Amino acid sequence: MTVVLAFLVGLLVVLALEAGGREVLARPVLARRNYRDHELATAAGLLLVVAVVLVEGARTVIELLGASDGATAPDRLLVVAVVVAFGTLGLIDDVLGDDAEKGLAGHVRAALHGRITTGAIKLAGGASFALVAAAVLGADRPVQTIVDAALIALAANLANLFDRAPGRTIKVGLLAWAPLAIVAGTSAAGLAVAVVAGGAAGLLRADLAERSMIGDTGANALGAGLGVAAVLVLGPGARAVVAAILLALTLASEVVSFSRVIDRTPPLRAADRLGRRRPEAGG
């Protein structure tokens, strides 16, 4: 399978799930108001998680039938496991969370006052699972394990931080995937993350049109999927650099509004608004 084919498979499976799953997404438990106070179905990113599992399941069946080589399957399975775990944590926040606390500092403050938010559960759970995933790859190298875990967790968190406008997280995710795809090629991790990227692309149109939102479910899954793929295909030095950049952006988000920076930078603003609905007259 080529990278392009894996991307297209992810995209088409998500589109099929979206067409058949509209009634599920329309249930009141998933209804949330977006940045323009329009009520939409959130957690559409659940379709991405399901698509990744379905594609991997189908590929496993093909391998069992002897039609392809499954020797490198563990890397693919790790990508799938991370996407499912982080997507589930995001779904908890989408369904049970509220907007009372924002950002890492807000969740920490709430915890210090004895209140555990769903956002804190998502962050702590994500950090823990990232550590487990990183340990699977290099338990005998504690420093590298911590760096790799940080990369995965920070990638997921940053994807959530960008999810403040229609399509933004998906666009940033696809932009980040492009160089990763070149490095990964047709490796097991490269093909697995291509399915993730394709699935995210399949959600882009509905997200831009404000028919649904990927929610923390989708942002968490996409960011973590890209993060674990980076851990699998990049060298130790490159992973350390990526983790440092992600940490710097995360810390910057506590004092700087990404939305404000984007709106004040014409090229970024144009890219951010590309494909989005125009503001309604008088609104």
Per-residue model confidence (pLDDT) at position 193:
96
Per-residue model confidence (pLDDT) at position 112:
75
Give the pTM. 0.90
CA atoms within 13 A on the CB side of 14: 28
d(CA 140, CA 283): 57
The domain ranges of the chain are 3-273
For 89-147, what is each residue's pLDDT tens digit? Answer: 999 988 887 655 666 666 677 777 777 788 888 888 999 999 999 999 876 789 999 99
Per-residue model confidence (pLDDT) at position 282:
45
d(CA 152, CA 75): 15
Could you tell me where the DSSP H helices lie in 114-167? 118-138, 142-162
Sites in the chain below the pLDDT cut of 50: 71, 281-283
Per-residue model confidence (pLDDT) at position 100:
59
Angle ∠(97,100,103) on CA atoms, nearest 5: 85
Which residues have CB under 8 Å from 42's CB, separation 6+? 30, 31, 32, 94, 212, 213, 215, 217
Number of H helices, E strands in the chain: 13, 2
Per-residue model confidence (pLDDT) at position 68:
63
d(CA 210, CA 257): 22
